[in-house]
Amino acid sequence: MLPISVLFSDDALLVVDKPAGTLSIPDRYDPELPVAQSMLREEWGNLFVVHRLDKDTSGVLVYARNVDAHRALSESFERRSVAKVYQALVRGAPEWDETVCELPLRPDGDKLHRTVVDAQHGKSSATSFKVLERYKDCALVEARPSSGRTHQIRVHLASFGHPCLCDPIYGDGKPLMLSKLKKRWKGDPFDERPLLARSALHALCASFPHPVSGEIMTFEAPLPKDMRAAIAQLDKL
């Protein structure tokens, strides 16, 4: 299990770079999965959840360290005074350079407990997208959500026909393999490891008012090794 890097800490908050494969909080369906909140508790004490990242989403994750900070941070998230930036590798080549998706979303909307687009019963949702780079059969996209619905970015991307690479819920779930990208790949198929094997979504940056001082603070988590390695190979094609 990859270590959890601390980006910032003080008496009010703890900001970390959560690795993919780690839960933000315990999962009632699989109590054996590693949980960032529990892993950090020994050193940082009791932590209050302000927001969540999906298990396979890496990047900036914020915890409050006391009740007052939790209340203030939660209000900031509810008032949408938190600016978040994500980066995703998506399937296919978007025809647009920039666009906004405002499809309403309803969590736990089908038998697979997925979030679904629901014009009648869904909650208002909005995500701005920008293509940063196009590759062979995929693209690097920036996402800026202005609401915080469950799986919002993943569902909005999938609704465009461009789900996150390797997304097992809203995409095809197939790992990104170099042998599938390079026509003259000469490696051993039995020893080949995926370039990327988890949903390719990273919480790059978050800006919000400090819960005590009110000062706007910005935190950034660099792209993790697996996404950097995938992009490096895609750049060569």
Which residues are marked as active site? 54
For residue 32 the two structure tokens come to 């054996």
Would the CA dihedral through 28, 30, 32, 36 be positive or negative? negative
Dist. CA 94–CA 164, nearest whole Å? 12
* Secondary structure tally for the chain: helices H, strands E: 5, 12
Pairing of strands 83-91, 138-145: antiparallel
Closest CA to 173 of 56, 36, 9: 56
> Residue 184 has what DSSP assignment?
T
Closest CA to 15 of 1, 33, 34, 36: 36
For residue 155 the two structure tokens come to 């569902």
Neighbours of 38 (CB within 10 A): 13
Q: Count CA atoms within 13 Å of residue 54 on its CB side.
A: 23
Amino acid at 100: V
Dist. CA 188–CA 183, nearest whole Å? 14
